[in-house]
Chains A and B, each alone.
Chain A
């Protein structure tokens, strides 16, 4: 009987609940549509950028053969005789990406480990904001810093270095990517549960044992992700690199020479007086495509590594 009563009382409320339900339904729909539109905008933007890149690149490759583009060792689109070999720009980009990682990865990981495992809380509270300030400095300031302080330092150490050289670009980009590595790696390290550390300590592990064998491996996917983001950032960095490394496309791996990266070249042409629609102008789309593809390959490789790692231990 009591059941019946309940049913009846529910039924009598139907008018009100029905109204609420209808309102909720439309509200949920509206939210749904709005979020879908947001997602749609970003997808659309990406697709159209890639589309423009592809179309312009295809037109570029009507004039310049893909083979020349990939194998020629000179990049002189604005000078006679014209050469359209991507290799020098690729070299410059890789040199800066590799060199800056060489600086940023060990220092960044070391700092992250120090902050998360060793530093007393007070010291951490001082260092962390400083690192964040480092992240907020505009890149043109870094470039200027490279020209006025790092480059002279490099030149006094290695007299053969030119006023613009890849080494100072590596140092400055390394410093720029440090905060990213530090804060992301530190987050990953701190996310390792205390219980894991305790498990190691309980077996008679020292702090170093615990950090090296348990905490860092457990945080590895986050740490590697921070490295990759830093490398992507180094590849994409333009302003500081242009100021520090100069604008001399050269197929060299010598960090003391002046080089030009892909991004620096794109800026040079976009800002110059090269008329749009010419093959010289379209080089920037081909270079952009190459840049896009190389970043994509890095991301894919990274995701492969990470998912293999996760598959195994998460």
Chain B
């Protein structure tokens, strides 16, 4: 992967590494690919098709992630809450069929970054985005982008679980219903499959019509995972999906992530370093709104390039 090159640049300051990194990624993606560059998101086939650039990048990444194509790219992404800048110049590639973990201290902008990827921050008043987010080569912030379609493709599990005040069944069935699936049998199948994958089915199969609000915190969290899975997004953004789970459920969610990796692209925010190490292929370390370092998980955890990363992963952070 391109980001690995940063490690090849000894003694480079942060600013420089970012620039170098950006250039290597942006150039080929920029407008090299005539088929996808100008297409509206809605016209791109729903089967993940990776732009040709990804191949050219492949050859460049000798170490780390061999067969990774790029699903999502951010270029100089900046984000502002009013006048407060929460993200500065984040440039990052998220490979398809891989798990990307985001780590970093509380308040460093991980959630903000994640929410930029499916334009969830649009809803917050007085915010501003600069830079690009490319999904399969298409800028999701381009005027005329179908945000509804984008969110169907890029699903999200929120940091705070937010089940609807409806039954368990209706919570999971809501996404499929939005796509026009209304047959009871079909919905039943999707709901059960999704709940099973989220490791919740056994606990709730006898009370699918009970209110979702009566579930425990951890169960609600898994319900939200099931709800996101039910729409079969191409990319799944998970903001601390296991923060309220016991070890057994956490293991099952991690197994799920591993299994989903075959078909989806996953970005997961976690405060649990072991979890990041276990489930992810690539890890990005955020600090104070900056992407300090990103690279193959194993490398980031064993031989981090930046001092700050090392301090953080070894628990020496102030």
Contact = CB atoms under 8 A, between A and B. Distances in A.
Given A121-B125, A194-B123, A197-B123, A202 B164 contact: no
Given A194-B123, A205-B178, A199 B152 contact: no
Contacts of B227: 199, 203
Interface stretch (A206-214, A244-252, A264-272): A206-214
Contact of B151 (A197, A202, A213, A214): A202
Interface string A183-207: 0000000000111111111111110
A198 B118 CA distance: 11
Contact of A202 (B118, B160, B165, B166): B118
B120 interface: yes
Contacts of B151: 201-204
Contact of A204 (B125, B160, B175, B211): B175
Contacts of B155: 202-203
B228 interface: yes
Contacts of A314: 165, 211, 213
A312 interface: yes
Interface string B131-165: 00000000000000000110110011010101111
A105 to B, nearest CB: 22
Given A194-B123, A218-B165, A202 B148 contact: no
B166 A217 contact: yes
Interface string B161-189: 01111100000001100110000000000
Contacts of A214: 164
A203 B227 CA distance: 8
B224 interface: yes
A204 B177 CA distance: 10
Given A197-B123, A313-B213, A203 B228 contact: yes
A196 B228 CA distance: 14
B162 A313 contact: no
Nearest to A193: B162
B305 interface: no
B162 A203 contact: no
Size range of the chain B interface in the assembly: 20 to 34
Interface residues of A, number: 23
A197 B120 CA distance: 11
Contacts, number: 70
Given A204-B148, A204-B149, A205-B148, A199 B178 contact: no
Interface in B285-309: none
A201 B174 CA distance: 11
B166 to A, nearest CB: 7
A218 B158 contact: no
A199 B221 CA distance: 12
Given A205-B178, A313-B213, A198 B158 contact: yes
A203 B174 contact: yes
Contacts of B22: none
A203 B165 contact: no
Given A196-B164, A202-B118, A213 B174 contact: yes
A256 B43 CA distance: 57
A196 B160 CA distance: 10
A202 B178 contact: no
A213 B174 CA distance: 9
Nearest to B227: A203
Contacts of B118: 202
Given A199-B227, A201-B120, A201-B123, 12 more contacts: A193-B162, A194-B123, A195-B160, A199-B158, A199-B164, A202-B158, A203-B155, A204-B148, A213-B174, A214-B164, A217-B166, A313-B211
Interface of A: 121, 193-206, 209, 213-214, 217-218, 312-314
Interface of B: 118, 120, 123, 125, 148-149, 151-152, 155-156, 158, 160, 162-166, 174-175, 178-179, 211, 213, 224, 227-228, 231
> Lowest 8 CB-CB distances: which A-B pairs, in order?
A204-B152, A203-B175, A195-B162, A313-B165, A202-B156, A199-B162, A204-B151, A313-B211
9 contacts: A198-B162, A201-B120, A202-B228, A203-B227, A204-B148, A204-B175, A204-B179, A214-B164, A314-B213
